[in-house]
Amino acid sequence: MRLLIVEDNQRLSEWLARLLRGENYVVDCIPDGESVIEGVALENYDLAIVDLGLPGIGGIDVVRHIRAHHATIPVLILTAEDAVKRRVEGLDAGADDYMTKPFEVEELEARIRALTRRSGRLVREELRYGPLSFDQNTRQFSIGERALQLSPREHAVLEALMRRAGATVSKEVLLEASYGFDEEVNLSVIEVTVHRLRRKLESDAISIATLRGLGYVLRLAQP
């Protein structure tokens, strides 16, 4: 799952990004509203976190822009403690929820989970595909009773495959899902990640098949 943070306070956004990456989210940070409006591919994101106190183009306009161009992406706004009026403006502009600074990270994470569950892409608490399950609250993959220990990249790739289980997913889509835009990588890293994932799945019942030139597909073994 990929998150966008729009926040001019670099220390705050880096701290937040590090924490969320630790929870296996892929995170991109943007320090200003101009960059969002001038061409961030919003469809790549599952949620946007927008600080309302941005220099230049303000957070409210960023929220309006996101709403106008991408109706379904959940938007969480960050506001200063006493800014009730701004918060109301933000919600009226189309934000789904808010956090006031300073905030507890556990609460932010819970709100992110709630918003992404509600967004329509995720409706159930648990995704299942054959023996593989993914608990959307703990963000843990398991095969049967065995919890999988995955790196953040492996987690992101498996999550992208799981959400389209049975369908072909291109390397480009997997790269989008697992790397932020400031990371210089090429498609071959996906082959390495898939190779590692296959070893960790260790199941006869489920496999990641390669469709040469097309991508990968998460498949159940034929009975």
Binding site for Ca ion (CB under 5 A): 8, 51, 53
- For Ca ion, the closer of residues 23 and 32 by Cβ is 32
Which CB atom, from 3 or from 160, has the smaller least distance to Ca ion?
Answer: 3
Nearer to Ca ion, 80 or 209 (CB): 80
Q: How far is the CB of 9 from Ca ion (least distance, A)?
A: 5
- Residue closer to Ca ion by CB (options 7, 154) is 7
Q: How far is the CB of 52 from Ca ion (least distance, A)?
A: 8
Q: Which residue is nearest to Ca ion (CB)?
A: 53
Instruction: Write down the least CB distance from residue 36 to Ca ion, Å.
Output: 14
Measured from the CB atom, is 46 or 51 closer to Ca ion? 51
Residue of 43, 1, 48, 45 whose CA lies nearest to 26: 1
Least distance to Ca ion from the beta carbon of 8, Å?
5
CB 37 within 8 A of CB 28: no
Q: How far apart are CB 55 and Ca ion at their closest, in Å?
A: 8
HSE of 174 in the Cβ direction (CA atoms, 13 Å)? 30
